[in-house]
Chains A and B, each alone.
Chain A
Amino acid sequence: LPFHFLLNAEYPDLRKHNNCMASNLTPAIYAKLCDKATPNGYTLDQAIQTGVDNPGHPFIKTVGMVAGDEESYEVFGDLINPVIKERHNGYDPLNMKHPTDLDSSKIHSGLFDERYVLSSRVRTGRSIRGLSLPPACSRAERREVERVVVDALAGLKGDLTGRYYSLTQMTEKEQQQLIDDHFLFDKPVSPLLTCAGMARDWPDGRGIWHNNEKTFLIWVNEEDHTRVISMEKGGNMKRVFDRFCKGLKERLIQERGWEFMWNERLGYILTCPSNLGTGLRAGVHVKLPLLSKDPRFSKILDNLRLQKRGTGGVDTAAVGGVFDISNLDRLGHSEVQLVQTVIDGVNYLIECEKKLEKGQDIKVPPPIKQFK
């Protein structure tokens, strides 16, 4: 008999799966949670659908579940908490608190050697409390997110003054400019996102806001309510992070009676459990042609708590020895701590590259302490 006849008839067949949800969803947990729903009506089956539909890769472990609203993290805690613990290197939401720190004045050594670092960028996400997240939101909720965010952003001043481009309303000329600036995001094609329902009603309620200087950018209703990005060419990560914190600390949302989803266990609440905590990815495009060919490269990155990606972002390959290097961690460390980790780490990588250029040997640094 096929195996599923022996278990709960609804329990998914996860035998070929390799994602965090599949590793943690026992039949007992499924039975306990399968009849539950959040106050908005979001269910376990909906939360895990993306992980059932996308078994994963033997080498890359995806998360395999999403949250449809803030309450998902509570109602489906019996599954999400072990998933969080596995994904975030032992961070235990039941026993630990997440630190939030957006005081960028604490950063030191944040100016990189621009012969190596081509660009610097910090991104995070923010969710508007009281509205469902992209996997579950209705059209009205999504439009409400857009309205709230666009209204608030109109209050930004000085170097943050900017404007909003709705995906449904932008002119062809505006669209071409946004593409040329590498700002325009596409309708998601990754099945990780589409199977979670995040592309519904595209492009309704979606858009891009950026400041006139094109150094501060907000995506509305893509994979999260908002993605907030500070970036510039060159190696001035300090200035990038200063601007990032300044923009995020504005009270514009709050002045209008709204809040971000946040709690002291999980930090900032986002759609994917991998983006909890700070939701922060700070990174650079850096030239490391020699170091990247050294067999110790991966170990060095690992010990520095860094990850590499191609310059097209996640799931792309490096071109011309230029890598996207960013922090691995999101939860359990503050924004300041993570950005400092990236700065220290990238500076170390550049030192290694310089040593290799001179024919000198490099050292694998000791691993940074984790809480596992």
Chain B
Amino acid sequence: MTKNCHNDYKMKFTTDEEFPDLSQHNNHMAKALTKEIYEKLRGKSTPSGFTLDDVIQTGVDNPGHPFIMTVGCVVGDGECYEVFKDLLDIVICDRHSGYKPTDKHRTDLNYENLKGGDDLDPNYVLSSRVRTGRSIKGFTLPPHNSRGERRAIEKLSIEALASLEGEFKGKYYPLDGMTDAEQEQLIADHFLFDKPVSPLLTCAGMARDWPDARGIWHNENKTFLVWVNEEDHLRVISMQKGGNMKEVFRRFCVGLQKIEAIFMKHDHGFMWNEHLGYLLTCPSNLGTGLRGGVHVKLPKLSTHAKFEEILTRLRLQKRGTGGVDTASVGGVFDISNADRLGSSEVEQVQLVVDGVKLMVEMEKKLEKGESIDGMIPAQK
């Protein structure tokens, strides 16, 4: 690829001349990137031609927020995590609570290992959802892939998903081919994803050629959904109304494994290694890539002085019900696991199940005017 050629051309300038101005920046990449690291890595490129400047561009263009620490870098292929190790290991350690280059990640998609999760009070827990992402071996990732690669990924995905049966029988809707009626239905179901507008994504090149080879697949029951070629090759989502996280997780694990088996038959398994788990575009989604969460009514608990501390101790995070970067409405919060790397899928969903159960009990106590001081958990 001619990206190598461009990088070679840039090497005629010195490190000082090319080093980005990060003086206004507050993201993980800006914290980690020294001139020494830049000097060491700037001449390198992965076999597909992705370079250090490509990795960091989104973080250079988006200084970040004084309070929210974004990652500030992406990968263009699986090999980046090796070639740009000197930078990415620091970012990963910072983002994933001290994860070391020598640590090993656990993968556990055996849903039977989850305890409970079928009895979250539906008067409080309105809906349950588990999502993850997967990258397909042999292709580069959304910041880098060409139209031809993206289309090949779509083609493989369509074939794999078309072969699913029973509760997983479903249909694919290409973004650039759906009827107006189909589009309206997908919007009404809250399934349709938009062209990314966040500069975090557009500056990383993920919206190129939109909507070419992008689409949405879902099963007839509308409880299992796959996004193709949005921020990752695949995003896999299991969801349903109410609090039966056990069922959501079962369907998640079974569906994922069925899909993986089909991709492996075509010699295109998922990118994974024992140090970083599943490899995804953003380093924040390494490991399980899993976000398991609920929409839960906590109007009293959410205004309690110790709410943030409780969440931290339970290793959970809150978002508004519109997803990341939205505010909560009517005391309803999106509560999900904070961790991705260094613990397994079962462990992370267990934290959500146990933590939400506890918080609902706290909410009930507060409704009765009772104190919850005795219920504050220890740090998990």
Contacts and interface: CB of A to CB of B under 8 A. Distances in A.
A11 B113 CA distance: 48
B48 interface: no
B354 interface: no
A41 B5 contact: yes
Given A138-B13, A194-B202, A52 B61 contact: no
Given A10-B147, A194-B202, A40 B57 contact: no
A41 B6 contact: yes
Contact of B9 (A10, A11, A39, A49): A39
A43 B9 CA distance: 14
B57 A53 contact: no
Interface string A1-44: 01011001111110000000000000000000000010111110
A45 B17 contact: no
B13 A9 contact: no
Given A9-B152, A138-B18, 19 more contacts: A2-B174, A4-B151, A10-B148, A13-B176, A13-B212, A40-B5, A40-B6, A41-B3, A41-B6, A53-B207, A53-B208, A53-B210, A136-B6, A140-B17, A141-B13, A144-B17, A200-B57, A201-B21, A204-B20
Interface residues of B, number: 36
Interface string B141-160: 00000111001100100000
Contacts of A141: 13
Task: Give the most central of A12, A13, A143, A204: most B CB within 10 Å.
Answer: A13
User: In terms of DSSP, what is the predominant structure of the interface of chain B?
Assistant: helix
A90 to B, nearest CB: 31
Contacts of A161: none
Contacts of A2: 151, 174, 177
Interface string A123-146: 000000000000010111101100
A41 B5 CA distance: 5
A199 interface: yes
A183 interface: no
6 contacts: A4-B212, A5-B155, A41-B7, A41-B8, A49-B208, A201-B60
Interface of B: 2-10, 13-14, 17-21, 53, 57, 60-61, 146-148, 151-152, 155, 174, 176-177, 202-203, 207-210, 212
B153 to A, nearest CB: 12
A4 B2 CA distance: 24
A168 interface: yes
Contact of A12 (B2, B4, B7, B209): B209
A134 to B, nearest CB: 14
A138 B10 CA distance: 7
Contact of A9 (B2, B148, B177): B148
B18 A200 contact: no
Nearest to B19: A139
B17 A143 contact: yes
Contacts of B13: 138, 140-141
B148 A52 contact: no
| Nearest 10 CB-CB pairings of A with B | A41-B6, A41-B5, A140-B13, A9-B148, A140-B17, A37-B2, A10-B148, A140-B18, A138-B10, A40-B9
B31 to A, nearest CB: 18
A202 interface: yes
Nearest to B197: A191
B21 A204 contact: yes
A2 B177 CA distance: 9
Contacts of B2: 37, 41, 43
A195 B13 CA distance: 26
B64 to A, nearest CB: 14
A201 B20 contact: yes
Contacts of B152: 9
Contact of B61 (A53, A168, A199): A199
Interface string A144-167: 100000000000000000000000
Contacts of A49: 208-209
